[in-house]
Chain A
Amino acid sequence: GQNIDQPTEMTATEGAIVQINCTYQTSGFNGLFWYQQHAGEAPTFLSYNVLDGLEEKGRFSSFLSRSKGYSYLLLKELQMKDSASYLCAVIGSNYQLIWGAGTKLIIKP
């Protein structure tokens, strides 16, 4: 079957760095997304990876290894506003999005 795994919850300190991992097993691969969702709000797009390697966008970076079925989202210089859920999603062979259950990130002062 198709499966996406990510930790349920993580805690980090303001100003620090945190890495949120995502592993996937899907039939086919056409790219991996990370979305951010604040409590009570809609998910918003953070990043898209289709080739192996690191994509950097300001304080946020996303890494992909297709051979390992693995991605991570790296958040630097954490701010309180980064407290949110981070959703990993993979586009499979039929172009349907397969979503992980999300990682709730709690930032402490």
Chain B
Amino acid sequence: DTAVSQTPKYLVTQMGNDKSIKCEQNLGHDTMYWYKQDSKKFLKIMFSYNNKELIINETVPNRFSPKSPDKAHLNLHINSLELGDSAVYFCASSPVWGSGANVLTFGAGSRLTVL
């Protein structure tokens, strides 16, 4: 069974469209994250939720809106897509928040291409 699963794996869309990426973890973890990895391979944190509560909200355009219906799910909705949004988006989860030895388990990634 996949520990952290995200869908879709690939997403090709036109500028100006709205799209969503879904993420689910079956590890029983308390904390979930969205990361963006651009063409230079740098991992940038976007959001983090702990037990459905938003705890990290980095400087991300408000076109990006996360939603956590329960602690096993964290979805990402993007409005009015722009060319610069093209990247791989990784969902991740970790057992807790506020601990040093807090290993992240990543999903396989969702490659978003905006034309």
Contacts and interface: CB of A to CB of B under 8 A. Distances in A.
Interface of A: 30-31, 33, 35, 37, 41-45, 48, 50, 85, 87, 91, 95-97, 99, 101-102, 104
Nearest to A30: B100
Interface string B32-75: 00000000111111000000000010000000000000000000
B108 A41 contact: yes
Interface of B: 40-45, 56, 90, 97-109
A37 B35 CA distance: 14
- Main DSSP-derived SS at the B contact region: loop
Contacts, number: 50
A95 B103 contact: no
Contacts of A101: 40-42
B98 to A, nearest CB: 5
Given A42-B90, A101-B41, A91 B102 contact: yes
A42 B43 contact: no
Given A31-B100, A42-B108, A96 B56 contact: yes
5 contacts: A31-B100, A43-B90, A44-B106, A45-B103, A95-B98
A48 B101 contact: yes
Nearest to A33: B103
Contacts of A43: 43, 90, 104, 106
Contacts of B105: 45
Contacts of B107: 42
| Of A30, A45, A97, most B-chain CB atoms within 10 Å | A97
Contacts of B108: 41-42
